[in-house]
Structure 1
Amino acid sequence: MKTTYIRLSLAATLLLGIYSCKKGEVASSDMEAYANSDTVAVASDSISSVATMKVKDRQFIKTADVNMEVKDVYETTISIEKSVQELGGFVTQSNLQSNVVSEDTYNTSDENAVLVKKYQTENRMQLRVPTEKLGELLTKINDKKLFLNSRLINAEDITSSIKYAQLENKRIEKNSKNISELKPDKDKVDLYNQNMSEGNLQQLANMDVTDNLKYSTVDIYIKEPKIRVAEIAITNTDSIDDQYKFDFLYSAKSAFVEGYYLIQKIVVGLITVWPIVLIGAAIFYFARKRKPAKKQPNAEA
């Protein structure tokens, strides 16, 4: 739902200034003209009267949120998008995806296998449709359902907010005239620039409100009630792994080469530590040389 966005737009309409009186009147006249239009909405027994409601001298921003289960998400998505286009609307978001529940591989021969995927498809959509066509669109969407989980239709009355904004526009216009009567100085330039910036923002806020009055926003979530199964033909990778898993001749040759390299590494290692070997040999030699000779046993004894 876009309630927060709408309220922010209304707040900007109430608080911000206008660039000129003419601009503010044009934006207001657009909203007034739309509110007083004689367009007749298509009513249906299956759709709430909120979607087709029109009250004299009242202005409503309408939104809808639908959550339902369908037979085929992809076909339903295409049908909804086509219906929106025929009614003069447009799709702002469509996020179709398949959620994989499980994935298994079964070998059918030495060369072939089958990948079995179990999945469930869903789609989240957001549509903009002319407000007078909202009821007709919801009727078309309702025809595609298997089971309706929820449906929310909201009509927000913004009549008093728009009237209050018009009063604020007049007050700001008067302030603009007062600024023009001030003596030229730096403060006047700053006030003028600030008022011009607020006027641009005011115009943008009026355009947003007018757009939300003319076009209703519809959020749709659709999914399939049952899990689908996809069978995909693939190559048996296990047999290929077994085929190249071990080669005796190649392994023996590699082992012989590795042994040869190991001997080289040992010899090189001994050469690297030759100073230590030399010092150890010298110590052993002198230690043995200084060792006293053992006394000979007495022959007489």
Structure 2
Amino acid sequence: MKTTYIQLSLSAVLLLSIYSCKKGEATATQYEASATADSAAVMVSDSVSSAATMSVKEKQFIKTADVNMEVKDVYETTISIEKSVQDLGGFVTHSNLHSNVVSEDTYNTSSDEAMLVKKYQTENTMQVRVPTVRLGELLTLINDKKLFLNSRSINAEDVTSSIKYAELEGKRIKKTGENISQLKTNKDKVKMGNDNMSEENLQQLANLNVTDNLKYSTVDIYIKEPKIRIAEIAITNTKNIDNKYKFNFIYDAKNAFVEGFYLIQKIAVGLITIWPVLLIMAVIIYFIRRRKSIQKPNQSISE
């Protein structure tokens, strides 16, 4: 009996040990699975966006992105982004870098020099296109340049059904063309043929645009500097220059003498021009005086 009890006790201890080992192995397995899940979560959180790198079997997406952020130096960031786009196999379709002048003041520092002080803020609106498979890389590179991210939107438009519909439309247009070719030649056939060909061309153009948008993603980028910059530009003291040459007595007196001489000439020429009027006036005055001189002796005789 005692021997049987001892055997049962040993069996129980052995079973407990095996259970503990199994439980420990299960716990370790659960921890490893949890750690793997955590690592995957970290990788997802570190990525720019799942929409930028999303790939679904039997689905096709046109991907676009819009980024609005503040950077330390707009010009340097613009150059960096343009280089990154080129390295990724993309290209820049639009870049409008400009400075908004907040104020502009001129301060005279000496009789000949002055300082132009401009307060301005630089910004740039860009549009770039990059291979869709590398969209995530570009967004990561752009994200590294930010001081503050105002907004970012990424859009993945599912165009699978549209592509399928375009294929069906292509077959329909082709079939219509075959049917038209079997008709008798007349004006209506020519018109239908032209219309069908025009529709086919438009369909091909739409297919090309979809193919291009699938291959290349469009990214609109707006960057600006968070603070106002100040530019100090050395210039000439224009006010002092104006005062220096505003009045010259000798020069102005000489010009006044010459202009007075020209004025006399103009008056003489003007008088010569109106000589008929002057002659008529002289004749009138002569007759008036002569009449007065005749009237005076007559008045004396009558008295």
| TM-score normalised by length of structure 2 | 0.77
Aligned match of 2:289:
288
Aligned match of 2:77:
76
Q: How many residues align?
A: 258
For structure 2, which runs of at least 5 residues remain unmatched after alignment?
Answer: 1-42
Aligned match of 1:247:
248
Aligned match of 1:143:
144
- For residues 117 and 136 of structure 1, the distance between their equivalents in structure 2, rounded to whole angstroms, comes to 38
- For residues 85 and 141 of structure 1, the distance between their equivalents in structure 2, rounded to whole angstroms, comes to 13
Amino acid at match of 2:217: S
Aligned match of 2:38:
none
- For residues 45 and 90 of structure 2, the distance between their equivalents in structure 1, rounded to whole angstroms, comes to 20
Largest Rg, 1 or 2:
2
- For residues 98 and 150 of structure 1, the distance between their equivalents in structure 2, rounded to whole angstroms, comes to 22
For structure 1, which runs of at least 5 residues remain unmatched after alignment?
Answer: 1-41
Aligned match of 1:103:
104
Aligned match of 2:67:
66
Give 1:107 shift.
Answer: 2.2
- For residues 60 and 233 of structure 2, the distance between their equivalents in structure 1, rounded to whole angstroms, comes to 55
Say whether the 8 Å CA contact 2:166–2:207 is kept in structure 1.
no
Aligned match of 2:20:
none
Give 1:213 shift.
Answer: 0.9
Deviations along 1:139-172, one digit per CA (max 9) or x if unpaired, are: 2212211222222222222222222222222222
Where relative contact order (Cα < 8 A, 6+ residues apart) is larger, the structure is: 1
Amino acid at match of 1:289: R
- Please state if 1:221 is matched with 2:222: yes
Deviations along 1:150-203, one digit per CA (max 9) or x if unpaired, are: 222222222222222222222222212212222344544444444344333322
Indicate the SS of the match to 1:145: coil
Higher-helix-fraction structure: 2
Say whether the 8 Å CA contact 1:43–1:135 is kept in structure 2.
no
Deviations along 1:90-136, one digit per CA (max 9) or x if unpaired, are: 11111111222222222222332222221111111101112222222
Say whether the 8 Å CA contact 2:118–2:230 is kept in structure 1.
yes
Give 1:238 shift.
Answer: 3.0
Matches within 5 A, 1:1-301: 44-45=45-46, 47-291=48-292, 292-293=295-296, 295-296=299-300
Identity score, percent: 75
Q: CA RMSD in A?
A: 2.4
Indicate the SS of the match to 1:244: helix
Indicate the SS of the match to 2:125: strand
- For residues 151 and 55 of structure 2, the distance between their equivalents in structure 1, rounded to whole angstroms, comes to 24
Amino acid at match of 2:286: Y
- For residues 284 and 298 of structure 1, the distance between their equivalents in structure 2, rounded to whole angstroms, comes to 26
- For residues 107 and 187 of structure 1, the distance between their equivalents in structure 2, rounded to whole angstroms, comes to 82
Aligned match of 2:13:
none
